[in-house]
Structure 1
């Protein structure tokens, strides 16, 4: 994982060599809930993935979710990734 400084005060990370989950692995993973020992392993894997997601995403600010429901703002594009 490579990291760089970000404007959100957190490190940005770029995941390298990310592999998708194959269907048979996904099926095996979903069947892990049947046994308690496997369920605990599954929960630890989920916790690891959740920590990784929290590290890779920035927290929402007030302006990120603001005003899309208000009538005067419905026509505005507030996505900073789209608007130059």
Structure 2
């Protein structure tokens, strides 16, 4: 699940996500909004304390992602 909650780290917005699949930096996901659809890449993953994570899965809590597309928190992300 993806939400509009985010943290700022080094001047960039990382959006909160509750992953349902294994996610890693460099992974490509499809996104869907009411007006567009496409593909994005996960550039970085952080925990709530700002620590970089190499991989997250469904049991990982408080996960935030940075992507190559500007997100608004209303997108549906899927593999």
TM-score (norm 2): 0.26
TM-score (norm 1): 0.25
More helix by share: 1
Larger-gyration structure (1/2): 1
